[in-house]
Amino acid sequence: MAVTAAMIKELREMTGVGMSTCKEALVEADGNIEKAVEILREKGLAAAAKKAGRIAAEGLSYAYITDDNKTGVVVEVNSETDFVAKNAEFQKFVSAVAEQIVKSDAKNTDELFEEKWVEDENITVKEALTQKISVIGENLNIRRFKKFVNDDNGFLVSYLHAGGKVAVLLQFETDVKSDALNEAGKNIAMQIAAMNPEFIDRAAVPDDYIQKETEILTQQAKNDPANAKKPDNVIEKMITGRLNKELKEKCLVEQEYVKAEDKETVKQYVESVAKEIGGKVSIKAFVRFETGEGIEKKEENFAEEVNKAMGV
C-alpha cells in the first residue's frame, strides 16, 4: 500500500514522532497506521503518545549566549508541572535545546523539530523530545525561540528571573564593550522582565497599533457621559494625552528606570552609561519570554479525578 503525506501527518499527530521516522514505520507496516504505531512503540518512540494531549503550561524560559558573545538565544520549553521544571534532567534538556538553536538555521519550531539532534545525529529533535517525554513522564513541548546574531558592533546580555519564569535577551549596538556595559545590560534586562515593554521606542510602534489604540480611546471618550458637553478639540487633546501615556508604558526607553532614585528614563540611563564608558550605546533589540503566557491552564479538581478513577 502506498504511503501518502496525509498518512504520515496523521501518524505524527498520533505519536509525536518525526516525519521521516513516521514514514519509515508506515513503509514497514505497509501503510497500516495501527501497525505503524506498534512499530514505533516497540522502538520506544511512541510511548509518549498518550501524553501528547495534556496541557503543558509550566516549564522553563531560558536564555543562552555563546562564549564569544556572537550568538544568543532565548527558548521556552514547557512541561505539565512546576515540579518537572525543577528536575535536573529537564533542565539539562532545555540547555541542550538552546545549544541546538545556536547551531540551527531553523526559522520556527516545525523546522527545528525536523533537524538532527545535536546530541545524537541518529534521531531528530522531535524524536529527542519524544524520548524525553517517555523518561520524564509528562507531556513536554519546545514552544518557541528567538535568536540574535551579532555583527562587530553587537553586544548581548541575558537575564533569568525566578529560575526561568521569565527570560530576557537584550542586544546593544555599541562601539565599546566592557564589564560596565554588561552590568548596565543586566539592569535593563531586569527592567524588561519587570515592566514588560512591547517596543524599544516610538519609532518601532507600528502605524496600525497607533490607529487601533486611537480608535479604542476615541470610543471610550464618546461613551463617557462626562465628555458629552466637551468640544471636539478638547476631547482630541485628551485622547492624544492618553495615547502618549500608554506609549510611555509600552516603549522601553520612555519608561521610568526602575532602579533610578529620581525620575530618570531608560533612555537617559543608557545615555549616562555611554558617557561613562566613553562610547556609543543604543538598544538594538530585545525579547522577553514568560513561561506559560497565553496558554490556557487546565484547572484540576482532585476530588473529581478520584471519583472518575473509581467509576463514581
Q: What is the CATH number of the domain that holds 112?
A: 3.30.479.20
CA–CA separation, 69 vs 111, rounded Å? 25
How does DSSP assign 222-276, residue by residue? HH-GGGTTS-HHHHHHHHHHHHHHHHHHHBGGGSBPTT-SSS-BHHHHHHHHHHH
- Asked if 76 and 291 touch (Cβ cutoff 8 Å), the reply is yes
Region 117-135: what's the mean pLDDT?
93
Residue 303's pLDDT is 52
Reference 287, options 204, 202, 171, 206; nearest CA is 171
At residue 40 the predicted structure's pLDDT band, cuts being 50, 70 and 90, is confident
The reply to whether 154 and 232 lie within a common domain is no
The reply to whether 243 and 139 lie within a common domain is no
Determine the 3-state secondary structure of 284 from DSSP: strand
> Residues 269, 273, 278, CA angle at the centre, nearest 5°?
150
The reply to whether 67 and 19 lie within a common domain is no
Reference 47, options 142, 118, 143, 132; nearest CA is 132
Taking the CA atoms of 215, 218, 222 and 223 in sequence, report the sign of the dihedral they define: positive
CATH of the domain at 28: 1.10.8.10
Residue 312's pLDDT is 46
Report the domain count for the chain.
Answer: 3
Is 98 within a domain? yes
Domain that holds residue 239: 202-275
Q: What cell was used for 72?
A: 544568543
Q: What residue ranges in the chain does DSSP mark as E strands? A: 58-65, 71-79, 116-117, 120-124, 141-149, 154-161, 166-174, 281-290
At residue 12 the predicted structure's pLDDT band, cuts being 50, 70 and 90, is confident
The reply to whether 65 and 137 lie within a common domain is yes
Determine the 3-state secondary structure of 208 from DSSP: helix
Is 295 within a domain? no
The reply to whether 73 and 42 lie within a common domain is no
The reply to whether 148 and 100 lie within a common domain is yes
Is 14 within a domain? yes
Average pLDDT, the chain: 89
Is 304 within a domain? no
More confident position, 69 or 2 = 69
Is 91 within a domain? yes
User: Is residue 190 scored above 70 in pLDDT?
Assistant: yes
Is 71 within a domain? yes
Is 245 within a domain? yes
The reply to whether 126 and 215 lie within a common domain is no
Region 229-234: what's the mean pLDDT?
87
Q: Within a 10 A sphere around the Cβ of 191, how many other Cβ atoms?
A: 23
The reply to whether 40 and 64 lie within a common domain is no
Residue percentage of the chain with pLDDT more than 70 = 90
Reference 239, options 253, 224, 255, 257; nearest CA is 224
H helices of 67-119, in order, are 82-85, 88-103, 109-114
At residue 34 the predicted structure's pLDDT band, cuts being 50, 70 and 90, is confident
Residue percentage of the chain with pLDDT more than 90 = 65
Structure letter (DSSP) for residue 217? H
The reply to whether 76 and 126 lie within a common domain is yes
What is the tens place of the pLDDT at every residue in 60-118? Answer: 999 999 999 999 999 999 999 999 999 999 999 999 999 999 999 999 999 999 999 99
- Asked if 159 and 190 touch (Cβ cutoff 8 Å), the reply is yes
The reply to whether 227 and 245 lie within a common domain is yes
Amino acid at 310: M
Q: Is 53 exposed, middle or buried (0-12, 13-18, 19+ CB in 10 A)?
A: exposed
Q: What cell was used for 2?
A: 502506498
What is the tens place of the pLDDT at every residue in 160-172? Answer: 999 999 999 999 9
The reply to whether 77 and 186 lie within a common domain is yes
Is 51 within a domain? no
The reply to whether 136 and 207 lie within a common domain is no
Region 137-144: what's the mean pLDDT?
93
Q: How far is CA 5 from CA 26, 40, 76, 116, in A?
A: 11, 18, 29, 21
